[in-house]
Amino acid sequence: MSALGELRSIRGSTRGSPRKRDNRAALVFLLPWFGGLFLITLGPVAASLVLGFTDYNLIQPPEFNGVDNFTRMLSDERLHNALRVTFVYVVVSVPVQLACALGLAMLLDRGLRGMAFYRSAFYLPSLLGSSVAIAVLWRQVFGADGLVNQLLDLVGVQGRGWISDPSTALSTLIVLNVWTFGAPMIIFLAGLRQIPVMYYEAAAIDGAGRWKQFWRVTLPLLSPIIFFNLVLQIIHAFQSFTQAFVVSGGSGGPSDSTLFYTLYLYQRGFNNFDMGYASALAWLLLVIIAAFTAVNFWAAKYWVFYDD
Partner 1 sequence: MTDLKQRPLPVVAVAGPPVRRSGVGRPLRGAVKHVGLILLALVMLYPVLWMVVSSLRPNDEIFRSPGLVLDGLHTRNYGEGWDALASPFGHYLLNSAIVVLGCIIGNLVSCSMAAYAFARLEFTGKRLWFAVMLGTIMLPIHVIIVPQYIMFSQLGWINTFLPLIVPKLLATDAFFVFLMVQFIRGLPRELDEAARIDGCGHGRIFWQIILPLMKPALATTVIFTFIWTWNDFFSQLIYLTDPQMYTVPVALRSFVDATVNTSWGSMFAMSVVSLVPVFLAFLLGQRYLVKGIATTGGK
Which of 88, 92, 204, 208 is in the footprint of partner 1 by CB under 8 A?
204
Among residues 194, 279, 304, 285, the alpha carbon closest in space to that of 234 is found at 285
Burial of 162 (0-12, 13-18, 19+ CB in 10 A): buried
The torsion of the CA quartet 162, 168, 172, 178, rounded to 10 degrees, works out to -150
Least Cβ distance, residue 67 to partner 1 (angstroms): 18
- Of 241, 216, 256, 245, nearest to 81 by C-alpha is 256
Query: Taking a C-beta distance cutoff of 8 angstroms, is the pair 282, 265 a contact?
Result: yes
Report the residue number, 10 or 74, with the smaller CB distance to partner 1. Answer: 10
Q: Which residues of 25-61 are buried (b: 16+ CB within 10 A; e: fewer)?
A: eeeeeeeeeeeeeeeeeeeeeeebeebbbbbbeeeee
Q: Is 150 an interacting residue with respect to partner 1 (CB under 8 A)?
A: yes
How many residues bind partner 1 (CB under 8 A)? The answer is 117
Compute the least distance from the CB of residue 232 to partner 1, in Å: 7
Taking the complex as a whole, the smallest distance from the CB of residue 42 to partner 1 amounts, in Å, to: 8
The answer to whether the beta carbons of residues 66 and 55 sit under 8 Å apart is no
The answer to whether 252 contacts partner 1 (rule: CB under 8 A) is no
Nearest 5°: phi and psi at 55? -110, 120
Cβ at position 303, least distance to partner 1 in Å: 21
51 binds partner 1 (CB under 8 A): yes
Q: For partner 1, which stretch binds (CB under 8 A), given 75-83, 159-167, 228-236, 295-303?
A: 228-236
Q: Judged by CB under 8 A, does residue 257 bind partner 1?
A: no
The residue within the footprint of partner 1, chosen from 6, 167, 206, 291 (CB under 8 A), is 6
The per-residue DSSP string of 7-34 comes to HHHHHH--PPP-SPP-HHHHHHHHHHHH
Q: Report the C-alpha gap between 176 and 184 in whole angstroms.
A: 15
Please select the residue that binds partner 1; options are 278, 292, 300, 304, rule is CB under 8 A.
278
Binder to partner 1 among 98, 102, 170, 189 (CB under 8 A)?
189
Residues 102-141 within binding reach of partner 1 (CB under 8 A): 104, 107-116, 118-134, 136-141
Residues 152-181 that bind partner 1 (CB under 8 A): 154, 179-180
Task: Using alpha carbons, select from 114, 247, 129 the residue that is nearest to residue 184.
Answer: 129
Of 71, 239, 255, 272, which one interacts with partner 1 (CB under 8 A)?
A: 239
The minimum distance between CB 169 and partner 1, in angstroms, equals 16
Residue 282 sits in the site that holds partner 1 (CB under 8 A): yes
**Span from 29-37, 71-79, 82-90, 298-306 in contact with partner 1 (CB under 8 A):** 29-37
Q: How far is the CB of 84 from partner 1 (least distance, A)?
A: 18
By CB under 8 A, the residues from 57 to 96 that bind partner 1 are 58
User: Of 248 and 257, which CB lies nearer to partner 1 in the complex structure?
Assistant: 248
Instruction: Rule CB under 8 A: say whether 262 interacts with partner 1.
Output: yes
